[in-house]
Structure formats: C-alpha cells, structure tokens
Amino acid sequence: MKFAVLTDTHFVPRGGKLYGLDPAERLAVAVEKINATHRDISFVILSGDLAHWGEQPAYASLASVLAGLHAPAILMMGNHDKRGAFRSEFAGADRDAHGFVQGVHVFDAATIVTLDTLNEETPDHAGILCEARLGFLAEALGTAPADRPLLLFQHHPPFDSGLRYMDTIKLTNGEAEWDIIAGSRKPDYMFMGHLHRPIAGTWHGIPFHIQRALTHQVAFDFETEGHIPGTHESPDYSLVSVAEGNIAIHQCSFLYDGPTFSLHDPKALRSQSSRELAEVTA
Ligand SMILES: [Fe+2]
C-alpha cells in the first residue's frame, strides 16, 4: 500500500494569502504532481490545520482544490480548525460516536487510525484528548487487526521537540495517551503535523514522522520563546509505502523547479554552477 501525506495546509478564502503565500495555489501544484506520479496510492491524508482561521469559505476553497485529486482524501483537525465550518463543506469526513473528526481505516497492508486533538474550548492552540477521545483510541488499538501494522495519525505531538514556543502548545495530556497505549498496543508508527518542520525520532519506543507544512514553516530555531519564528522553506509531501510489514517514507520537495540530471554525466559532474549544469544537460 502507498499513500501520500500533506499537513498544515492553512487555507484561507479563495484568492487570499497568508504570510505572503497562497495555500490553494500550492495545494493545486501538489495535487497535480500526486495525480501524475502516484497513480497507485490508496489515499492522501491531510493531518490537520486545514484552514488557518477555520472559516467556511476557507474550507470551500480547500474542497474545490481537493476535488481535483484522483485519490480519496482523509482529513483531520488541527488547532486552527473549526469542526462546524469544516463539516459544512466535508459532511462525509470521519465522525466518531461523539462527533469528533477521527476514524479507523482498515486496509490489507495496514490500519490507519486518526485522532482529533483539537481543543475548541481554549484559544491557546494546545491540543487535548478528552476522555471520549482517549476511549476511542483504546477501542481502536484494542480492535484493530493484529496481523498488520497500525499507523497512528494526530495533529499535536504528545512530547517536547525543542522548538520552544511550539512545546507550550503540544498535546497537553500526552501521558494520558501513553497510558492508553501502554495498556493496549503500541502503534508501529506515528505521524503528526503542527510543528511545520521535518522531524523524526521515537516516543516511548514508537517511531514518529513529522513533516513540513504545505504553507509557511517554523524556523530551525531552538532559542526564540516569545513567539513562533517563521520561514519560507520549501514544502514537502510524503510518500509512504507499507509492504509486508515494512514502512518507507519519502519526502518530495514538490515546488522544486531546478535541474534534474544524471550523476554519471561527465558534463554535469564538472559544471561550475547550477545554471551551467542546466544548460549542458538540457
Ligand atoms: Fe499549523
């Protein structure tokens, strides 16, 4: 099984920009590339912060861009989202018994579990898993097929990353989540958004993957603490393959428009600049 991951699309109403960037324009480029190069994917997952201010016109713009995607989309909530406005445009999205945007998707190669860590009651952007959502996680871990990997997706990381401001708005009750996992089953991999940076590691022995946002990024800065330092580093989507229990994650810098060349080409090897290389290998 293969699938693609995008995160933190931060949509605004059609034609609008955020920090100088047009999220709809960027997602359209990603959709076009994914359609053209990954015809064998089962789905694309967007792991939260779908819209920056959570308003209905932003979700309408997102829906119109995603309409061009050939693969189905699994959509998740982040701290910037609003469930009501989201539902008005995506009525068929995952919905658990309590109305949270989370679900269990069982495929032959793996089970995908998505969690809704949005806390709409507090405006500070930290995440939470309330008792109902912890119960959903326990049920999902306890009933998922044991013979294939379980991949757990959630917007907020339950741990500190070292990015100082971001660590103040992580999942507030990560240890409660760990208690559920420790009492049931460890996911084979965790995927998160929120941090707008490429980060990998382990949490309680569980490997995790965090990737760049579709839009603005968070700087590689471990000193600033009073605000979130931002950058315009290029975005990525991930291509994940799961086969016979093995998982591989590739990052695609989909806005890259520089030269593509053979490393065995002597002209490319001796080029003195990127421009010269593009000319001699054209
Ligand atoms: Fe975000």
How many helices (H) and strands (E) are present in the chain, helices listed first? Answer: 8, 13
Residue 122 has pLDDT above 90, yes or no: no
Specify the pLDDT at position 195.
98
Residue 210 Cα distances to 20, 56, 213, 263, angstroms: 24, 27, 9, 30
User: Of the ranges 74-78, 234-238, 276-280, which one carries the lowest mean pLDDT score?
Assistant: 276-280
Distance 10 CA to ligand 1 centre (A): 7
Distance 40 CA to ligand 1 centre (A): 28
On average, the pLDDT of the chain sits at 97
Distance 229 CA to ligand 1 centre (A): 13
Distance 48 CA to ligand 1 centre (A): 7
Distance 81 CA to ligand 1 centre (A): 10
Residue 93 has pLDDT above 90, yes or no: yes
Strand partners, 154: 192
Distance 259 CA to ligand 1 centre (A): 31
> For the residues of 113-164, what is the DSSP string, one character each?
EE-----TT-TT--B---HHHHHHHHHHHHHS-TTS-EEEEESS-SS--S-H
Distance 215 CA to ligand 1 centre (A): 9
Distance 122 CA to ligand 1 centre (A): 16
pLDDT band at 156 (very low <50, low <70, confident <90, very high): very high
Cα 46 to Cα 76: distance, rounded to the nearest angstrom: 6
Q: Which domains, and CATH codes, for the chain?
A: 2-280 (3.60.21.10)
What average pLDDT score do residues 252-275 get?
A: 95
Question: 3-state class of 206 per DSSP?
Answer: strand
Distance 21 CA to ligand 1 centre (A): 14
Q: For residue range 174-213, what is the model confidence (pLDDT) as tens digits?
A: 999 999 999 999 999 999 999 999 999 999 999 999 999 9
What average pLDDT score do residues 7-32 get?
A: 98
What average pLDDT score do residues 36-65 get?
A: 98
What average pLDDT score do residues 90-94 get?
A: 98
Distance 196 CA to ligand 1 centre (A): 6
Specify the pLDDT at position 242.
98
Cα 57 to Cα 98: distance, rounded to the nearest angstrom: 25
Specify the pLDDT at position 123.
79
Sort 111 into a burial class: Cβ within 10 Å, 0-12 / 13-18 / 19+. buried
Specify the pLDDT at position 282.
78
What average pLDDT score do residues 35-44 get?
A: 98
Distance 262 CA to ligand 1 centre (A): 36
Distance 20 CA to ligand 1 centre (A): 16
Residue 280 has pLDDT above 90, yes or no: no
Residues whose CB is less than 8 angstroms from the CB of residue 216 and which lie 6 or more positions away in sequence, other chains included: 10, 18, 19, 21, 196, 230, 231, 232
Residue carrying structure tokens 């003195």: 272
Residues whose CB is less than 8 angstroms from the CB of residue 260 and which lie 6 or more positions away in sequence, other chains included: none
Distance 277 CA to ligand 1 centre (A): 37
State the amino acid at position 243 in one-letter form.
A
* pTM strictly above 0.85: yes
pLDDT band at 281 (very low <50, low <70, confident <90, very high): confident
User: Are the beta carbons of 24 and 66 closer than 8 angstroms?
Assistant: no
Distance 190 CA to ligand 1 centre (A): 17
Distance 120 CA to ligand 1 centre (A): 15
What average pLDDT score do residues 235-257 get?
A: 97
The phi, psi pair for 96, rounded to 5°, reads -85, -175
Distance 179 CA to ligand 1 centre (A): 26
Distance 142 CA to ligand 1 centre (A): 30
What average pLDDT score do residues 30-42 get?
A: 98
